[in-house]
Amino acid sequence: MPLIRLDKYISQRSQLTRSQIKALCGRGKITVDGAVVKSSDTKIDPERSVVVADGSRILARSERYILLNKPEGYVSSTDDGDGPSVLELVPEELRTKDLFPAGRLDKDSLGALLITNDGELAHNILSPKRHVSKIYIVKLDRPFQNKYIDIFKNGVELRSGEVCLPVKVKMVENCEKLAFIELSEGKYHQVRRMFAAVDNHVSALMRVSVGGLILPEKLGFGQCMELLHKDVENLEKPLDFDAFCREFSGVFSAILINK
Ligand code: URA
């Protein structure tokens, strides 16, 4: 395992910032394997070192969490079947052998996809029982109709006969062919099939949040960012759908309108 800087190790696993860590080091408040470390750029072994900062043990974790802004044309599986795998977009320095996409986006779909090696977290965010909701913005062939709100709230029946859990949907203000939709289950092609059930057609779809984690505007299609362990805690926090739509409709509709 390559050595990493002490301040990087601690800041990724706690709320402490690098400057706070430097200050704690200066005051002799950080120990590694029992010895006081005065310099925050000291290299440590992230898997073996026992790090204590201001009296608290900073536990080593080997889980990795990567947020990808998925572009079209990539498949959300670990092997190339029907196209290149999203894993090919993970930069070399972030790759480990055990990474997999936590959840699926269709080959044509865009947006937030979590790639991790943490099976437990993946299970938690995918299980409908945990109610980790995902928000999508969709581009429709025909104008949004207000009746969709109640139909989706009551659990729309797909053409296959399957009934969906209640979901929230909202037209993007002044864009009658764009809508936000929030759901916490993940049936195959669910969003596309829900709109098909009300005789509309989704021509573009982008996932813009997973739980409390919002796709950052600065992350371009095909780009990845490593999430800090403290960011991962946000995944299981709920978002307020209406507030989200108000705040982010400008940003995400500008991206989707040209697709
Ligand atoms: N629903 C869909 O139809 N497609 C996706 O990629 C995600 C949700």
Domain with residues 65-258, CATH architecture: 2-Layer Sandwich (3.30)
Kindly give the distance from the C-alpha atom of residue 217 to the centroid of ligand 1, in angstroms, as a whole number. Answer: 20
pLDDT at 258: 82
Mean pLDDT across 188-193: 96
d(CA 209, CA 135): 5
Predicted confidence band of residue 62 (pLDDT cuts 50, 70, 90): low
Residue 123: partners with Cβ closer than 8 Å, 6 or more residues away: none
pLDDT, residue 112, reads 97
For 185, counting Cβ atoms within 10 Å of its Cβ (0-12 exposed, 13-18 middle, 19+ buried), the class is middle
Q: Give residue 213 CA to ligand 1 midpoint distance, Å.
A: 18
More confident residue, 240 or 95: 240
Ligand 1 pocket, mutate which of 189, 202, 206 (most atoms under 8 A from CB): 189
The answer to whether 136 and 208 are in contact (CB under 8 A) is yes
3-state secondary structure (DSSP) of residue 53: strand
Residue type, 176: E
Where in the chain do CATH 3.30.2350.10 domains reside?
65-258
CA-nearest residue, atom 7 of ligand 1? 105
For residue 160, pLDDT over 80 is answered with yes
Q: Looking at residues 144-149, what average pLDDT do you find?
A: 98
The active-site residue out of 106, 118, 141, 242 is 106
Cα–Cα distance measured from residue 72 to residue 94, given in angstroms and rounded to the nearest whole number: 22
Predicted confidence at residue 36, as pLDDT, reads: 96
Return the SS3 of 92.
Answer: helix
CA of 90 to the centre of ligand 1 (A): 21
The atom of ligand 1 lying closest to the CA of 194 is 3
Instruction: Report which ligand 1 atom has the smallest distance to the Cα of 183.
Output: 8
pLDDT tier, 130 (very low <50, low <70, confident <90, very high otherwise): confident
Whether residue 6 is predicted with pLDDT greater than 90 in this model: the reply is: yes
pLDDT at 179: 98
Q: How confident is the model at residue 16 (pLDDT cuts 50, 70, 90)?
A: confident
Start and end residues for every CATH 3.10.290.10 domain found in the chain: 4-58
pLDDT at 241 over 80: yes
**Average pLDDT of 201-211?**
96
**Closest residue (by CA) to atom 4 of ligand 1?**
189
For a ligand 1 pocket test, name from 77, 104, 109 the mutation site with the most ligand atoms within 8 angstroms of its C-beta.
Answer: 109
Question: What percent of the chain shows pLDDT beyond 70?
Answer: 98
pLDDT digits (tens, 9 = 90+) for 22-60: 999 999 999 999 999 999 999 999 888 999 999 888 877
Instruction: Decide if domain 4-58 falls under CATH 3.10.290.10.
Output: yes
Nearest CA to ligand 1 atom 2: 189
Asked if pLDDT for residue 191 goes beyond 70, the answer is yes
Residue among 106, 207, 208, 210 whose CB has most ligand 1 atoms within 8 A, to mutate: 106
Ligand 1 centroid to Cα of residue 55, in Å, is: 46
Using an 8 Å Cβ cutoff, are 58 and 14 in contact? Answer: yes
Q: Which atom of ligand 1 lies nearest, measured to the CA of 186?
A: 8
Mean pLDDT of 193-200: 98
Q: What is the pLDDT of residue 217?
A: 92
What is the value of pTM for the model shown?
A: 0.80
How far does residue 210's CA lie from ligand 1's centre (Å)? 13
Told to judge if 106 belongs to the known catalytic residues of this protein, a careful annotator would answer yes
The 10s digit of each residue's pLDDT in 66-117 is 999 999 999 998 876 788 999 999 988 787 768 999 988 999 999 999 999 8
Q: What is the overall mean pLDDT for the chain?
A: 91
Burial of 53 (0-12, 13-18, 19+ CB in 10 A): buried
